[in-house]
Amino acid sequence: MQYGDRIAKLREKHSLTQEGLSSKLGITRASLSHYENNRREPTYETIAAIANIFKVSIDYIIGRTDDPHQVLDNDLRDFDDSMELSDSKTLERFTLTIDGKKLSSDEAKRFIAFIRAERALSSE
């Protein structure tokens, strides 16, 4: 199941229309439709907001786990609480590259989220 399918399923489960959810997220209904139909990928901030609204993990939304409530272990949670990933100064200070090309801010955030999820799974 792709992220769009999960977003649509969560929205329907909570009896929200696309208009209702998009309003809560501060995005257009058209943008939400693109996400739900897997035509565009939501930003990290949008995924985090969706996770907060539906009280599920980001990893569940992006398909890394089928458990909607899987959480980070204490060490990873402490690390997460001590570092603001959306802080542009942090991302400017720590340059991440792949194949010699600098990752964009959104790519860096998705990469860090992936590592967190993988570590959480490895510690089980």
What pLDDT, in 10s, does the model give residues 31-43?
Answer: 999 999 999 999 9
Same domain, 57 and 80: no
Banded model confidence at residue 20, pLDDT cuts 50, 70, 90: very high
The verdict on residue 69 lying in a domain is: no
The length of the chain in residues reads 124
Domain span at residue 11 reads 3-61
Domain assignment present for residue 36? The answer is: yes
Nearest by Cα to 21 from 56, 46, 57: 46
Instruction: Kindly state whether residues 49 and 25 are assigned to the same domain.
Output: yes
* Per-chain mean pLDDT for the chain: 82
Q: Judge if 113 and 78 occupy the same domain.
A: yes
78 and 57 in one domain? no
The C-alpha atoms of residue 52 and residue 45 are separated, in whole angstroms, by: 10
